[in-house]
Amino acid sequence: MDWGGPGFVILIIALSMGGWLINNWIRARHGYDLEDEWGGKTKPRETGEIKQLKADNAELVQLLKDQGERMETLERIVTDKSYRLNEEIEALRGLPSPRTAENGVPLNMSKKETI
């Protein structure tokens, strides 16, 4: 092969153009900005599917924020001193607290039973 001839130059240009086309095809397929011949960026058009996905994403983010606020409120209630004081008073009375009542029958550890 003649390395200094026009065929080699045409081959290099063809390979460069082919690589550029493949690069832009992959970028377009995955939604990235495209490059033009001078290095500028061209944003892809937003289709209805992309707009719907963005709307769904915004809705889910808002729902997650709402759930976070509810969680903070519940944590504040549980760590409140009056809530803990109420549990301690119920424990002193000998009554099961509402949280332990659903856990089943308490074990009587004072008696030792032999099997």
The tokens describing 67, both together, are 């759930």
Query: Taking CA 98 as the corner, what is the angle to CA 97 and CA 102, rounded to the nearest 5 degrees?
Result: 110
- Residue 88 identity (one-letter amino acid): E
Instruction: Tell me what the mean pLDDT of segment 56-67 comes to.
Output: 96
Strand partners, 35: 41
Distance CA 112, CA 115 (A): 10
pLDDT level of residue 39 (50, 70, 90 thresholds): low
**For 12-21, how does the pLDDT look when each residue is reduced to its tens digit (9 = 90+)?**
999 999 998 8
Sign (positive/negative) of CA torsion 72, 74, 78, 83?
Answer: positive
Please give the average per-residue pLDDT across 51-74, as a whole number.
93
